[in-house]
Amino acid sequence: MFWRRLPLVIGCLLPWVVAGGVGLWVVQRHIPKDGVMTIDIPLDGRSPWFEAFLPGQRATSPGVQDGGWVGQRITDDPVYARIRLPGAYDVAEVMMEFRPEDQPLLEIGVERGREPTVSYELVPLWSEQLETSAYVSTTVNGVPWLVDPLVGAAATAADASRVAWHASGTIPQAWMDTGTSTKQTIRASLRGQHDFWFVPVNGRIDLSMVLQDMNRSRQTSTASLRLMRDAELVWADSVSFGGRDDARPSPLIEKTWAFEALPPGVYRFSVLADDSIFIREWTTLAKHWVIGPRVYFADEIGYSTSTPSVRAWTNSSFLEVKTLHPEGTQVVQLGSATATIRETHATVLLERRDVDVGGAARFSAPKGNVWTLGDGYMSWSQAALFFPQVRRFTDQTRLKDERVSAVATSYTPPERLQDGWYRSRTTFSLDPDRDRLKLILSAPGIARREGSVDVRRLQVVFRRPPRREAWWPAIRAELIRAWSRW
């Protein structure tokens, strides 16, 4: 009897055995025993795991390039690539072999979030300046630094001799001026949103400001004001412009504030307004105060018979300058460097010459009416200049010339290979809801200097806990991931 039923039993069990075998094979394939999966990606355009760097106007097609090597050449910034994830892993270590040409700085990162809240997490990849320096690594108050060994860790506390490049942790700045101070009144027109930075004097910040709405087509408007210490909101208020029944600018409104019993620190006073709101004048008792990094020197049409020239001090090593009005075309100057604005809405770059590097430099615009953005700040008093935030390390930073002896950064020098090639390793956490990792490669200023970055190989190591330690969470994560893809 049993033998007669045996084929039926086998027939009933066989599908389950096959399904179990397939499931075991899938588990073995997608959940490695040690929790590690390595994918090697030559950039020849044939890997099923990798979608080439795009857009095509900024990178060549993958394959054989001039010189006989295989990969992609990047000539503009930034470029993006996608790596298909083999499963629900926690982290990915991205190894990249690259060769920079006339490009002093590279950054790598990944996309975070989803529309409309997408952001990009960038970290250091390579720096020519740091690669050729003798700086040594150290940690101060939990912040990683590379410092000039001749100066030592003391350089990390010096405002003018330190910069930051994607540093982890908070760099403290406990500022407080003491003694008597002199009132300074600046009569200059600034347009729209601006950030004023102050160091308290004996625990006080005294400030007055004259504002005006130049938009003749509206009867009411508002400018928001706030005082911040790091991420802490200290005070907030607003100024209303209203009561107009004619096509004229608003009357001048003067506001005075006195902030007392302030702890040491750098305070940011922000005027949040559209470009129709003008700051006409401000008065302060602060010894250290600056504006920036964005400063919009306004025209004075409808307010004055002429627009005054601009002469301000800055600690920026470079400035991007443009004008929005034909009256603003002119020759502008930073230290001894000059540039000509020939047309509206076209940005010109002012870079300090070697003789001007370090310290303060004068910025001048004879006709005013210019918009500026730099890597530093501006003040009308040379003695008032300071860096309210640690300067950014950029592709234009020159450590020796600018007397920079400390860099707050998580940068780890890549491995040097032959013929100018480097091999870097960068680790990123993975979003369990994504089936692809969007990679960003940034080469600031590469198009301007006509440089390039060659990339010939990627290797991605995916990691999660070993199967024996977390087999069920791994299977559950794979099932959730598979379900979300349907």
Concatenating the DSSP letter of every residue in 158-176 gives -GGGEEEES--S-------
| Torsion sign over Cα 388, 389, 395, 399 | positive
Q: Which domain holds residue 178?
A: 172-291
> Which band of pLDDT confidence, cut at 50, 70 and 90, is reported for residue 359?
confident
User: Cα(155)–Cα(132) distance, rounded to whole angstroms?
Assistant: 19
Residues 177 and 160 in one domain: no
- pLDDT for the residue numbered 253: 92
- pLDDT for the residue numbered 246: 64
User: Is the pTM here over 0.85, yes or no?
Assistant: no
Query: Residue 281 corresponds to which tokens in the numbers above?
Result: 């004048």
Kindly report which listed range (42-46, 330-334, 342-346, 402-406) carries the lowest average pLDDT score: 402-406
> Which band of pLDDT confidence, cut at 50, 70 and 90, is reported for residue 476?
low
CATH number at residue 208: 2.60.120.1310
Q: Rounded mean pLDDT of the chain?
A: 86
pLDDT tens-place string over residues 432-448: 778 889 999 999 999 98
Residues 203 and 146 in one domain: no
pLDDT at 264 over 60: yes
What is residue 481's DSSP assignment?
A: H
What is 351-419 written as a DSSP string?
A: E--GGG-SS-EEEEETT--EEEEESS-EESSGGG---SSPEEP-TT--TTTTT--EEEE---PPEE-ST
Kindly state whether residue 275 falls inside one of the protein's structural domains. Answer: yes
Q: Determine whether 345 is exposed, middle or buried from the number of CB atoms within 10 Å of its CB (0-12, 13-18, 19+).
A: exposed
pLDDT at 262 over 90: yes
pLDDT at 403 over 70: yes
How many domains, the chain?
Answer: 2
Residues 78 and 68 in one domain: yes
Kindly state whether residue 449 falls inside one of the protein's structural domains. Answer: yes
* Contacts of 393 by beta carbon, 8 Å cutoff, 6+ apart: 105, 127, 163, 164, 165, 407, 409
N-term to C-term CA, the chain: 47
Kindly state whether residue 483 falls inside one of the protein's structural domains. Answer: no
Number of H helices, E strands in the chain: 3, 35
CATH number at residue 451: 2.60.120.260
More confident residue, 306 or 225: 225
Kindly state whether residue 440 falls inside one of the protein's structural domains. Answer: yes
- pLDDT for the residue numbered 261: 95
Kindly state whether residue 338 falls inside one of the protein's structural domains. Answer: no
Residues 166 and 47 in one domain: yes
* Contacts of 26 by beta carbon, 8 Å cutoff, 6+ apart: none
Residues 191 and 151 in one domain: no
Residues 110 and 47 in one domain: yes
- pLDDT for the residue numbered 38: 92
Domain closes at, from 259, 291, 323: 291
pLDDT at 272 over 70: yes
Residues 144 and 186 in one domain: no
Residues 167 and 56 in one domain: yes
- pLDDT for the residue numbered 70: 95
pLDDT at 28 over 60: no
More confident residue, 153 or 296: 296
pLDDT at 369 over 70: yes
More confident residue, 79 or 360: 79
* Mean pLDDT on 131-145: 88
Residues 162 and 50 in one domain: yes
> Which band of pLDDT confidence, cut at 50, 70 and 90, is reported for residue 184?
very high
More confident residue, 444 or 175: 444
Kindly state whether residue 204 falls inside one of the protein's structural domains. Answer: yes
* Contacts of 451 by beta carbon, 8 Å cutoff, 6+ apart: 75, 100, 101, 102, 103, 443, 445
> Which band of pLDDT confidence, cut at 50, 70 and 90, is reported for residue 304?
low
Residues 415 and 436 in one domain: yes
Angle at 20 between CA 17 and CA 21, to 5 degrees: 85
Q: Determine whether 135 is exposed, middle or buried from the number of CB atoms within 10 Å of its CB (0-12, 13-18, 19+).
A: buried
User: Cα(318)–Cα(309) distance, rounded to whole angstroms?
Assistant: 20
What percentage of residues in the chain have a pLDDT greater than 70?
84
Residues 119 and 189 in one domain: no
User: Cα(62)–Cα(82) distance, rounded to whole angstroms?
Assistant: 14
* Mean pLDDT on 7-13: 63
* Token pair 């990009």: residue: 120
- pLDDT for the residue numbered 170: 54
Residues 154 and 176 in one domain: no
Angle at 309 between CA 307 and CA 311, to 5 degrees: 145
User: Cα(405)–Cα(309) distance, rounded to whole angstroms?
Assistant: 36
Kindly state whether residue 105 falls inside one of the protein's structural domains. Answer: yes
Kindly report which listed range (25-39, 181-195, 254-268, 298-312) carries the lowest average pLDDT score: 25-39
Residue 347 contacts residue 363 (beta carbons within 8 Å) = no
Query: Residue 443 corresponds to which tokens in the numbers above?
Result: 């080469």
